[in-house]
Amino acid sequence: MRRLFAILILALCGAHALADQAFPELVLEIKGHPLTAEVAATDPQRAQGLMHRRMLPENRGMLFVFPYTAPQSFWMMNTYVPLSIAFLDENGTIVNIADMKPLTTDSHRSTKPARYALEMNLGWFARRGIKPGAKVEGLKRAPSAQ
């Protein structure tokens, strides 16, 4: 009986920890293409990102909000989903897009200082003809970086 109680307590603690990792969501638009992005605006959220997920639904992604505009760099350690990342300046203009292979530690950097990064399924931007210079609408509703 004690063992069952201990397992129940551990399960509840695990569920609580998962609930703490919930990300707020935000609807964005790029060149008339709507998407829903989970928002990573705190250090723990940015560190977690999309790690350990096995799939990402179409037209869904993750927006990383940084406290200041600076060169940004990402890798794919513990990330199973192949992704494309768009680095955005403080005005929401895409400065560059990079494709990222799962489970690698290759560094993918912004070519200019960036305030945001938007991860989507691999090829999402290319299939919609979205290139550097395109503007992401809806960022003003994003939570402030912490």
- b/e burial code for range 81-99 (CB count within 10 A of at least 16 → b): bebbbbbbbeebbbbbbbe
Token pair recorded at residue 85: 């990342």
Split at pLDDT 50, 70, 90, the class of 22 is confident
Residue where the block lists tokens 């895409």: 94
CATH 2.60.120.1140 fits 23-141, yes or no: yes
Query: Residue 21: what pLDDT?
Result: 61
- b/e burial code for range 45-73 (CB count within 10 A of at least 16 → b): bbeebbeeeeebeeeebbbbbbeebeebe
Cα–Cα dist 107/75, whole Å? 5
Q: Can you give the pTM of this predicted structure?
A: 0.86
Question: Quick one: average pLDDT of 72-91?
Answer: 98
